[in-house]
Amino acid sequence: MGTIRMDRRLFLKSAGATAGAVAALQVGCLKYFKKGRSSAGDTKEIPTTCELCPNKCSAIAVVEGGFVKKLNPNPENPKSRDMLCARGNAAIKQVYDPDRLKQPMIRVGARGEGKWKPVSWDEAFDFAAKKLSEVKDKYGPQASLWSSTEGFQEVFFKNLGLSFGSPNLVRHPTLCLASVNLAYSATFGTVPSFDLLNSKFVIMSGANRFESIITPDTMDLIGGVMERKAKLVYLDPRFTVTAAKADEWYPIKPGTDLAFILAMIHVIIAEGRHSKDFVATYTTGFEQLAEHVKQYTPEWAEKETEIPAKDIVRIAREFADAGARALYYAGRRSSWYQNDFQMRRAQAILNAIVGNWDQMGGMVPNAKLPKGEFLFMPWDEPKAPRVDEVQKEFPLAAAGDGVYLKLRENVLSGKPYPIKAWMVYKQDPMNSLPDQAKTLKMIEQMDFIGVIDVQMSDMAWYADVVFPESAYLERTDPVEVMPGIWPAVVFRQQVVKPIHDTKPNLEIVQGLAKRLGLGDYFDYTIEQWVEAEFKDLPIPMASEHMKKHGVWAASGQPSYGKTLTPDHRFVTKTGKIEIFSERLQEAGYDPLPVYAAPVQPPGDRFRLILGRVGYFTHANQSNNVWLHEFMKENDLWINPKPAERLGIRDGAYVSVSSSVGSVKLKARVTGEIRPDCVFMLHGFGKKSKMQSLVYNVGASDAVILETAWDKVSGNAAFHETFVKVANA
């Protein structure tokens, strides 16, 4: 493919209506939902915290006659900045969804057959406790797996797993951001925030902020970078909404961002444009870096990335000239390639050498706030080693979160020991892990599966017992402190009483704990828990304030530069920012990022890449009746050139096959993607008949994605699958 550098306006003209319309719809929907409070006679306005994605935006629920009528943004939150997105607004439909889980259920047919018996909570608890105890008696407590995704009540679930005696808690980070977090920690000793509001020059490697919403970054990109006319350079094999808004978009060859970054470093060092004082005072290993990047010329990188060398040189110069206010933005979902850690490390190093650390408009270490703790009765630490052998295989990874895909391999092989029970909280491994057939095998070999969810997810569909949690608008959750440039505390409180026979997670955990002989560890109420947390907050009358406002933010401007004193010790081995990392070297990894060209798909195949749209979160909101209006079925983006070669017409059904599975979905023939890759959204092709709008509609990418992971962090590598596309 030839090299393309697209000016945004030019592209919109040439691409016709589609890209523009999508951009307008998605960004427009942010604006549409932003303002407008309603009020009526008996109306109550109750502040709370949105739960529909990890951002934790502050919302104000308008309640009339016991019903949530509307959700408004709460301007007091500096992170969500008076914004509630389309999903946030549609949370109302989570409560009043006819498909939602309304009472506990026990499976009566075969797993996945969909035959359920509605039962009382006592029956559900007795059944699950009996099964968990049987597994514990036969195989030991370590034979139980406790998997979950972040959420305010996740703590109770994790504590149940630990007090049961299992070391095998596995969380979402190695499906999401483990490699980027580890790369920045390895370099700076911490994971910073990015001050987009004040930056002058931003480069983003596929961090699609106008659709993959992260607060405050998405708003800062609009209010900071766009309005101040700071420059945004965006690399993505797809023309996303962020590409449409960028000053320059490069459809980079997938998997080659590391080459682009190394060549930028090459140019900056060769031309002496790095921040010499900063490098000398705060970093270690610059000389090795200078030597190392000599090989990575812009001409070489052009061949790898398909971005013209002259543009790489110019971007490197502009970036270095913006200095402390230039940002190579980290991105969040870094579950891309098997060398993801090293790509993110190179970004961190590039940021370090222009001296943007702890500067206005640069990377800023997060300010934190203290919070009280509820003191519960402690239990003995689980004795067994983890089943995924994290410490041995991934010595630098966050052991407490586990390495999900390695864990699945070990569970399937039964080594180092068997896992026979699986408890799941707020997670859908059927759609969030690659290779669904493998996940199904893992399910098959379990003696017991219990799922706690608000809807009948595909994972719940294969469970033995389903515990319906109350929706977030129906419950009070633990207090959350959000570190950042503008740190804040948020509180989620009950807005309406549960309308069905559901319970908050704490009560589900307590019901199980009592029957497992672990009741004493959970002998408290949510009110006692949150009051203890309010205690150490730096807020006068914290409890009253949080109930009345739902959020508290430190006032005043961020204080930049606190760590910029020559005697400051970074939390790294040397106490400096580690450009060259001895720690990585000792663990057997490359101490400086080394480029290896990604394996290319053979002639008749395409690389499958993933991403998001602004109106769904992951795989879990396509059945929300309001959000469903935005998209009723997913499709496969394919470039017109290969489509023509294969005789594929826009809107026709195609089969998409990999070495592990095959799916059928509609083709979207579009110039908004490179010819060597295809793209599909996840969250469709559900197996659960209780997701009636999307059951068997469209396709799930989990069926065709193959298993691969990043070597250092263990993060899933979701963009390493090659697929064949043919008319169905």
Ligand X SMILES: Nc1nc2c(c(=O)[nH]1)N[C@H]1C(S)=C(S)[C@@H](COP(=O)(O)OP(=O)(O)OC[C@H]3O[C@@H](n4cnc5c(=O)[nH]c(N)nc54)[C@H](O)[C@@H]3O)O[C@H]1N2
What is the distance between the alpha carbons of residues 295 and 343, in angstroms, rounded to a whole number? 17
Partner in contact with 252, chosen from ligand X, Mo ion, ligand SF4, none, beta carbon below 5 to 8 Å by kind: ligand X
Residue 87, interface with ligand SF4 (CB under 6 A)? yes
Contact with ligand SF4 (CB under 6 A) among 23, 50, 259, 495: 50
Binding string, 228-247, against ligand SF4, x = CB under 6 A? Answer: --------------------
Binding string, 205-224, against ligand SF4, x = CB under 6 A? Answer: --------x-x---------
Give the Å distances, CA to CA, from 160 to 167, 335, 401: 11, 28, 15
Partner in contact with 612, chosen from Mo ion, ligand X, ligand SF4, none, beta carbon below 5 to 8 Å by kind: ligand X
Residue 51, interface with ligand X (CB under 6 A)? yes
Contacting ligand SF4 within 521-550 (CB under 6 A): none
Residue 716, interface with Mo ion (CB under 5 A)? no
Q: 541: which 2 tokens?
A: 């009358």
Q: How far is the CB of 280 from ligand X (least distance, A)?
A: 32
Residue 55, interface with ligand SF4 (CB under 6 A)? yes
The nearer residue to ligand SF4, 71 or 512, going by C-beta atoms, is 71
Contacting Mo ion within 144-183 (CB under 5 A): 176
The nearer residue to ligand X, 220 or 428, going by C-beta atoms, is 428
Which residues are within 8 A (CB) of 423 and not within 5 positions of it... i.e. 6 or more apart? 132, 144, 145, 146, 147, 157, 160, 161, 449, 450, 451, 452
Residue 215, interface with ligand X (CB under 6 A)? no
What is the distance between the alpha carbons of residues 338 and 329, in angstroms, rounded to a whole number? 20
Label the pairing between strands 363-364 and 193-194: antiparallel
Partner in contact with 550, chosen from ligand X, ligand SF4, Mo ion, none, beta carbon below 5 to 8 Å by kind: none
Binding string, 265-294, against ligand X, x = CB under 6 A? Answer: ------------------------------
Which residues are within 8 A (CB) of 270 and not within 5 positions of it... i.e. 6 or more apart? none
Residue 617, interface with ligand X (CB under 6 A)? yes
Residue nearest to ligand SF4 (CB): 88
Q: Are 102 and 94 in contact (CB under 8 A)?
A: no
CA dihedral 429, 431, 437, 443 (to 10 degrees): 30
Contact with ligand X (CB under 6 A) among 8, 93, 200, 238: 238
Within 10 A of 437 (CB to CB), how many other CB atoms are there? 12
Q: Which region, left, alpha or beta, applies to residue 586 given φ > 0 means left and ψ of -120 to 50 means alpha?
A: alpha
The nearer residue to ligand SF4, 55 or 351, going by C-beta atoms, is 55
**CB-side exposure of 435: number of CA atoms within 13 Å?**
18
Q: How far is the CB of 615 from ligand X (least distance, A)?
A: 7
The nearer residue to ligand SF4, 222 or 312, going by C-beta atoms, is 222
What is the distance between the alpha carbons of residues 103 and 352, in angstroms, rounded to a whole number? 53
Residue 623, interface with ligand X (CB under 6 A)? no
Partner in contact with 22, chosen from ligand SF4, Mo ion, ligand X, none, beta carbon below 5 to 8 Å by kind: none
Which residues of 299-384 form beta strands (DSSP E)?
Answer: 326-329, 363-364
Q: How far is the CB of 268 from ligand SF4 (least distance, A)?
A: 35
Stretch that binds ligand SF4, among 47-55, 402-410, 513-521, 659-667 (CB under 6 A): 47-55
Q: 694: which 2 tokens?
A: 């999307």
Which residues are within 8 A (CB) of 600 and not within 5 positions of it... i.e. 6 or more apart? 676
Contacting ligand X within 668-707 (CB under 6 A): 682, 701-702, 705
Residue 342, interface with ligand X (CB under 6 A)? no
Residue 349, interface with ligand X (CB under 6 A)? no
**48: β partners:** 59
Three-state DSSP class for 347? helix
CA dihedral 243, 245, 246, 250 (to 10 degrees): 20
Going 208 to 213 to 219 to 220, the CA torsion angle's sign is negative
DSSP 223: I
CA angle 272, 273, 278 (to 5 degrees): 100
Residue 624, interface with ligand X (CB under 6 A)? no
Contact with ligand SF4 (CB under 6 A) among 19, 57, 232, 551: 57
Nearest to 572 by CA among 396, 388, 318, 329: 396
Give 409-412's long-range contacts (Cβ < 8 A, gap of 24+). Answer: 409/707, 411/145, 411/387, 411/442, 411/445, 412/438, 412/441, 412/442, 412/445
Query: Residues in the site for ligand X, rule: CB under 6 A?
Result: 51, 53-54, 149, 172, 175-177, 205-208, 211-214, 235-238, 240, 252, 254-255, 257, 331-333, 335-336, 425-428, 431-432, 452-455, 457, 469, 472, 609-612, 614, 616-620, 682, 701-702, 705, 718-719
Query: Residues in the site for ligand SF4, rule: CB under 6 A?
Result: 50, 52-53, 55-57, 80, 84-85, 87-88, 213, 215
